[in-house]
Amino acid sequence: MPGLIGKKIGMTRIFDDEGVQIPVTIIEAGPCAVVQVKSEESEGYSAIQLGFGAQKAKRASKAEVGHAAKAGLEAAPRLMREFASDNGEQYEVGQQLTVEVFEAGDRVKVTGRSKGRGFQGVVKRHGFAGRPASHGHSMSRTPGSMGPGTDPSRVIKGKKLPGRMGGTRTTIRNLQVVRVDGERNLIFVKGGVPGARNGYVLISK
């Protein structure tokens, strides 16, 4: 089973049969249309291309509209992603995949774009401890020494320094599916997933 494209709705909590609360992230996953099936013979690798949502006609290019029309879709998908699949021949172009492909208890990995934090210092970006805040100095959140002075007399590659934080593709593995709501296309995953609310995520086993 390749996976699904979804949209992060937000976080809440639910209670199990014993009354224990479980923090969950609600993801609106699918329905995703199979836009293209790629094979070793034609493309050199095996995968299926899924589409999620629908673009406004004025925003879609002619190439996107034509590509979607071949799959029998009325509008170009808002987001398309490929999932590697060794058994792509069992899927047909135009087929709809829903959250029913998952069930409670499954372990999944979720990929998304983490929240952008902008330019941050070493204390927030790398977890540096900083220096004591008392006795009046202005060096409490500085990185400190940059490295040896005489030899090699330069900053070593890979040195943890201030810089852009977040906004990167992030994957969290081994998340547990707590509940699946097929009527509303919702999947409840235990814990947090990358990204802000309404951000797109990829879910796969």
Looking at the fold, whether 154 and 168 belong to one and the same domain comes out as: no
User: Is the domain of 24 the same as that of 103?
Assistant: yes
pLDDT of residue 90: 85
Same-domain pairing of 138 and 92:
no
Distance between CA atoms of residues 103 and 71, nearest Å = 27
In this structure, are 154 and 96 located in the same domain?
no
Q: What is the pLDDT along the chain (205 residues), one digit of tens a residue?
A: 689 999 999 999 999 889 999 999 999 998 999 999 998 888 889 999 999 999 998 999 999 999 999 999 989 999 999 999 888 778 899 899 999 999 999 999 999 999 999 999 999 999 999 888 888 888 889 998 888 888 888 999 999 999 999 999 999 999 999 999 999 999 999 999 999 999 999 999 8
Kindly state whether residues 47 and 60 are assigned to the same domain. Answer: yes
**Do residues 46 and 65 both lie within one domain?**
yes
Looking at the fold, whether 61 and 137 belong to one and the same domain comes out as: no
Q: pTM to 2 decimals?
A: 0.86
Verify that 82 and 136 share a domain, yes or no.
no
Predicted confidence at residue 1, as pLDDT, reads 66
108 and 180 belong to one structural domain: yes
Domain, as residue range, for 128: 121-162
Same domain, 28 and 110: yes
155 contacts 162 by C-beta, under 8 angstroms: no
Which CATH number does the domain housing residue 93 bear? 2.40.30.10
Tell whether 63 and 142 lie within a shared domain: no
pLDDT at site 132 = 86
Number of compact structural domains in the chain: 2
- What CA–CA distance (Å, rounded) separates 119 from 99? 38
- Regarding whether 157 and 70 lie in a shared domain, the answer is no
